[in-house]
Structure 1
């Protein structure tokens, strides 16, 4: 094991937070796991406005190399001046995993996928765009074999095919995920989309802190931060309850 890796692992052990790895964490979108998460996120939009997003976020492995993900969102927002609540969108996603490889102490798992987003919301009420989208994507999960640190770079393009809002957006995303002893994990998730229709960069960062609290059950919290002048929100927070099976 390289000296630097050994030093990091030794320091973590001394602090009582030794890294653990092997079993994939469902907070990694490219993990081969079955899970259902019940989540709520609150967003401060600035100028006294806010949005609450209650949603189901789950996944099921159809085959060892094929994953089905789903999301159902219900929004409550006063972004247009009056409080409106409605089902916002459904996201259905297929992810194809390819043969993993290993070199230099890192394993690499490539993946390609396609997402279909059905938007039930309305831009006049702030509950959605009202436009359905098709969204291809691809990425890699790089896992450091000595520490279990996982880095996931992703790229995804969103394009609408109907509805009142023209959507043409390319997003790059970088996730860092680390598990620790006693069932804890931390995650950082940087999202940088470019909106081709409006020439904007509505970038965000999310930080997640979680713990496995029982067999197949986990609890986690999210800290949400908008970045730059085009940020979609100022800041936010969330909670999630995960069932893994």
Structure 2
């Protein structure tokens, strides 16, 4: 369960969402999200569901590179069903498909995990044309037994608008016990094409 607040300059966007995953098989993961927005980009406060995401990720291989590093490869497909209303400043009203490919490099000594990936988003219906190719680098480092820090750099190229709306996220989390964790996010828009200036967030995670 997550909440994020984005400063858009003259307006704001608040995103409350469920973000979960389930291993269907040892090498096949299902991820899902459901987003609810509150925003005043139209000068009036509007609220409503934004989108639901479903992503299947298949891990075709996993092996040791050497005594220190191991790698797991991944391919996947994300389906984004838009539930928004652009007259309210929520969503795009266009559904998307987004294939991805990536890898996870794990350091067996320090616990550091590096995840470079590329994903392309393409709309297939609706009034808004979406075509973006996103480069992404995620780094996760556990520390002090029950804590972790996560960095997430996103650099998409928007083919429709010829722009680079890049962003970065820094997350610090704490495992309360084996089943519950809490975390906080610091969000930052990067460059002149950014879609937001800065933001904050927090989350509560349950493991079953």
TM-score interval for Structure 1 and Structure 2 normalised by the shorter chain: over 0.9
Is there any run of 5+ residues in structure 2 with no aligned partner, and where? none
Superposed, which structure 2 residues align to 1:140-219 within 5 Å?
140-219=103-182
2:57 is the counterpart of 1:95: yes
Superposed, which structure 2 residues align to 1:25-40 within 5 Å?
38-40=1-3
Structure whose residues are more often strand by fraction:
2
Which of 2, 24, 28 is 1:62 aligned to? 24
Distance in 1, matches of 2:157 and 2:44, equals 29
Which of 126, 147, 151 is 2:89 aligned to? 126
Is there any run of 5+ residues in structure 1 with no aligned partner, and where? 1-37
Farther off after superposition, 121-130 or 68-77 = 121-130
Distance in 1, matches of 2:85 and 2:169, equals 26
Q: Classify the secondary structure of the residue corresponding to 1:146.
A: coil
Cα offset, 1:62, TM superposition: 0.4
Cα deviation code 1:78-113 (max 9, x no counterpart): 112211100000000100012211123210000000
Q: Classify the secondary structure of the residue corresponding to 1:55.
A: strand
Structure whose residues are more often helix by fraction:
1
Query: If the length of structure 1 is used for normalisation, what is the TM-score?
Result: 0.83
User: After the TM superposition, which segments of 4 or more aligned residues of structure 1 sit over 2 Å from their partners?
Assistant: none
Distance in 2, matches of 1:182 and 1:149, equals 13
User: Quick check: which has more Rg, 1 or 2?
Assistant: 1
Which of 199, 215, 224 is 2:187 aligned to? 224
Q: Classify the secondary structure of the residue corresponding to 1:124.
A: helix
Query: If the length of structure 2 is used for normalisation, what is the TM-score?
Result: 0.98
Q: Classify the secondary structure of the residue corresponding to 1:205.
A: strand
In the comparison of the two structures, how many residue pairs are matched?
207
Distance in 1, matches of 2:161 and 2:4, equals 26
Aligned equivalent of 1:53: 15
Distance in 2, matches of 1:99 and 1:182, equals 29
Cα deviation code 1:190-215 (max 9, x no counterpart): 00000000001100000000000123
